[in-house]
Structure 1
């Protein structure tokens, strides 16, 4: 299991991004969480195998219909894998 912390910027709040992200993560077998950040971005903590994480990052680059992703940054996130995938704040 690998962990990634991902920040997505653009028009990504108020478009169902967190809910769609959770559905996609669950479909891929990725665990972790997603939350809105005060600066208007969305932050994702994702844990899974390399192929599943690559697929989630690929999905995050465009997000759900209505989102307009401008940039995506990611970094390794050490630590154990959580169970499930939740929406925070």
Structure 2
């Protein structure tokens, strides 16, 4: 069982979101899928963190020991796109 949420940003577009996700490969194991991307390793922690693009942000679904990456991801998103609204789905 995992947690799913949407992250809606105050700025940015699909191209910028995709470039941002690609930049994550500099710090985490990132794999492109048919529907989005899977992050599976960050700071020697293994987990599953799925990212998909949605209008004005990201859909994320995660399980395992994702806590360090989740914090990093939220800080990176707000640093690039401003305020983020998070909603459980």
* Bigger RCO (CA 8 Å, 6+ sep): 1
Q: How does 1:5-24 map to 2 (within 5 A)?
A: 5-10=4-9, 11=11, 13=14, 14-15=16-17, 16-19=19-22, 20=24, 23=28
> Aligned match of 1:63 in 61, 76, 89?
76
Runs of 4 or more, structure 1, over 4 Å off, are none
Q: Which residue of 2 aligns with 1:73?
A: 86
The RMSD of aligned alpha carbons is 3.3
What are the ranges of 5 or more consecutive residues in structure 1 without an aligned counterpart? Answer: 77-89
Is residue 34 from structure 1 mapped to residue 68 from structure 2 by the alignment?
no
Q: Which has the higher helix share?
A: 2
Number of aligned residue pairs? 71
What are the ranges of 5 or more consecutive residues in structure 2 without an aligned counterpart? Answer: 30-38
TM-score, normalised relative to structure 1? 0.54
Q: Which has the higher strand share?
A: 2
